């Protein structure tokens, strides 16, 4: 009876390991699909939360780029002023 319990436990452990491996494989396949898709299909196929996050990140990125652009423009203006004063 004791031996039968051990055998059953071993079989259960093997089944659990197989299930975990299958789950990991499925996750990898999903990632590959998203890499092949272009942005439009990923956005349209996403949930409302995913679409919100995407829009939020795009807006934040645009704001950061605009901020960098204004900094570069002011630096260019300062360099132009220095160049015109020295020349």
Token couple for 55: 């829009």
What pTM did the predictor assign? 0.48
Torsion of CA 10, 15, 16, 17, to 10 degrees: 90
Q: What is the DSSP letter of 47?
A: -
d(CA 43, CA 55): 9
pLDDT in tens, the chain (87 residues): 445 555 666 666 666 666 666 666 655 555 555 555 566 666 788 899 999 999 999 999 999 999 999 999 999 999 999 999 986
Asked whether 54 and 46 are in contact (CB, 8 A), the reply is: yes
Cα–Cα distance, 18 to 37 (Å, whole number)? 30
């Amino acid at each position: 009876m004791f031996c039968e319990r051990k055998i059953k436990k071993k079989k259960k452990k093997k089944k659990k390991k197989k299930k975990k491996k299958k789950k990991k494989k499925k996750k990898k396949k999903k990632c590959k699909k998203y890499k092949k898709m272009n942005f439009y299909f990923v956005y349209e196929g996403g949930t409302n939360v995913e679409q919100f996050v995407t829009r939020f990140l795009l807006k934040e990125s645009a704001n950061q780029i605009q901020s960098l652009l204004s900094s570069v423009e002011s630096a260019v203006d300062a360099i132009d002023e220095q160049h015109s004063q020295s020349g």
